[in-house]
Amino acid sequence: MRLSRYFLPVLKENPAEAQIVSHRLMLRAGMIKQQAAGIYSWLPLGYKVLKRIEQIVHEEQVRAGHIPLLMPTLQPADLWRESGRYDDYGQEMLRIKDRHERDMLYGPTNEEMITDIFRSYVSSYKQLPLTLYHIQWKFRDEVRPRFGVMRGREFLMKDGYNFDLTKEDALHAYNRHMVSYLRTYERMGLTAIPMRAASGPIGGDNTHEFLVLAQTGESEVFYDAKVPDLKLGERAVDYDNRDEVAAICEEFTTLYARTDETHDEAVFNQIPEERRMVGRGIEVGQIFYFGTKYSESMGATVVTPDGNRVPVEMGSHGIGVSRLLGALIEANHDDKGIIWPEGVTPFHVGIVNLKQGDTATDAACEAIYKALQGRGLDPLYDDREDRAGAKFATMDLIGLPWRITVGPRGLANNVVELTCRRTGESEEMSATAAVERIVKIYEAH
Ligand code: ATP
Ligand code: MG
């Protein structure tokens, strides 16, 4: 993309309404525009990151054997009357009437609708196990929408639902989700710690939240200092192997890590004092096993191998896709702006032309731009007639992890400059070497 033709409405001033750094930077970098409290338009740069995050979520769900579908945002109230949640959900649910006076709602989650889909088509244990998921907008009429996309009213969520014959099978589905979530967050360059949680309106007693450590997080967290070092890394996982998946879950949940809702001071105090950490975290996902709560009330049953009819065992599993942008920025920024991890960056590399209009410099930039595109990469070329300082400030603000700077002085010696956004370190090399380096960096992502 050529910046002269892109739509990147960056703000010079700090927006007064933004209380935390991720909200401030998303507004300044022209990623989002607020349209009403907690409701945002996703401008091109923000939309690009959102799509990249969505893509990673999809890939890791499919890898775990889960099947994508798409349910609507609007739901009939009657489904929620069946489960009893139409009355229980309270004011967070946005209730709507259509022209025929039928009660509708903008879905805050989809347990009822997916259970309805399941009961309409599945009646035998032979069709299990089954996990269906979608990535769809949700609406929760939060009392205090704030912090930009972190606590919106309309927000994008991945929500998946497993259907199994036995509790044992459903717990395997739970574990599969835990491992696939760990991989999902790691691919984004995030450390999200599974913490034992309280279940709230979804119900059930087996649940973990995934928290990204950040000072601005809304949850208070208590954890063993060794926990953030746990990594899945490159290891291959066979999602059908119950013992293997369970062992990974055990590895990640044995050390103490809890939110204030489940914190137990006595257990916490058994950790050596120097490892007792208290901090704050951002909830970027949650998994639940809740058994037959919805299948019983809504009549989602299957015939077992010995001919009995039983309610199906279920769980639900969510990732805060739009909230992740905020969490990623909280975890990756400095005083100049955002620093995107390679896994989610909107453009792979920025090209800064120091002397737009100079024939040789323009030609060198064009060549680099085309070469990168030819290798399947997505560069952002700042081809505007602007001061070098202003171009650098924009690149730093929008946080592309790599920058290639091209100017007449370097070209006289056949070099360009390759700069790492995170370390600020620059290296001179030929244009070809710079392209090769970028290609190599992204081979891993
Ligand atoms: P919270 O405790 O933050 O209100 P929740 O526990 O009610 O969230 P879940 O039902 O677990 O939310 O939803 C799954 C995920 O969706 C959460 O882990 C979170 O990342 C995201 N999410 C929930 N509410 C919001 C919101 N208002 N804005 C953005 N993301 C949200
Ligand atoms: Mg939650």
Per-residue confidence (pLDDT) for residue 80, from 0 to 100: 97
pLDDT score recorded for residue 197: 87
Taking residues 142-165, report their average pLDDT.
97
Is 181's C-beta closer than 6 angstroms to any atom of ligand 1?
Answer: no
Cα gap 141→12, rounded to integer Å? 32
Instruction: Please return the burial class of 347, using the count of CB atoms within 10 Å of its CB with bins 0-12, 13-18 and 19+.
Output: buried
How many A from CA of 422 to the centre of ligand 1?
Answer: 29
User: What are the start and end residues of each CATH 3.30.930.10 domain in the chain?
Assistant: 3-337
Helix residue ranges per DSSP H, 84-142: 85-88, 111-121
Amino acid at the residue 284: V
Enumerate the CATH 3.40.50.800 domain ranges in the chain, comma separated: 347-443
Angle, alpha carbons 329-444-64 (nearest 5°): 80
Q: How far is the CA of 217 from the centre of ligand 2 (A)?
A: 13
Neighbours of 215 (CB within 10 A): 10
pLDDT given at position 321: 98
Q: Please tell me the class of the 3-337 domain.
A: alpha beta
Q: Report, as an integer, the average pLDDT of 195-202.
A: 75
Residue 140 in contact with ligand 1 by CB distance below 6 A: yes
The CB density around residue 4, as the number of other CB atoms within 10 Å, is 12
CA of 396 to the centre of ligand 1 (A): 30
Cα 78 to middle of ligand 1, angstroms:
24
| pLDDT, position 204 | 54
For ligand 1, whether the C-beta of 148 sits within 6 Å is no
- E strands along 274-415, which residues? 276-291, 301-303, 309-311, 313-320, 333-334, 337-338, 349-353, 379-382, 402-406
The mean pLDDT value for 284-305 works out to 96
Q: Which of 39, 290, 323, 324 to mutate to test the pocket of ligand 1 (most atoms within 8 A of CB)?
A: 323
pTM for this structure?
0.96
Per cent of the chain over pLDDT 70 is: 98
Per-residue pLDDT tens over the stretch 167-194: 999 999 999 999 999 999 999 999 999 9
For atom 18 of ligand 1, the residue with the nearest CA is 285
Is the pLDDT at 445 greater than 90, yes or no? no
Task: Provide CB contacts within 8 A for 30, sequence distance 6+.
Answer: 7, 8, 9, 10, 11, 43, 45, 46, 398
For 14-18, 298-302, 307-311, 326-330, which range has the lowest pLDDT when averaged over its residues?
14-18
Residue 337 near ligand 1, beta carbon < 6 Å = no
pLDDT at 201 over 90: no
CATH code for the part of the protein at 347-443: 3.40.50.800
Model pLDDT for residues 79-133, shown as the tens digit of each residue: 999 999 999 999 999 999 999 999 999 999 999 999 999 999 999 999 999 999 9
Ligand 1 mutation target, pool 140, 150, 283, most atoms within 8 A of CB: 283
d(CA 189, CA 324) in angstroms, rounded, equals: 11
* Residue 444 pLDDT grade (very low, low, confident, very high; cuts 50, 70, 90): confident
CA distances from 348 to 186, 253, 340 (A): 18, 35, 10
CA 319 to ligand 1 center in whole angstroms: 8
Cα of 429 vs centre of ligand 2, distance in Å, is 48
Closest Cα to atom 22 of ligand 1: 320
Give 200's pLDDT tier (boundaries 50, 70, 90). Answer: low
Segment (H or E) for 253 = helix 242-253
- 203 pLDDT more than 60: no
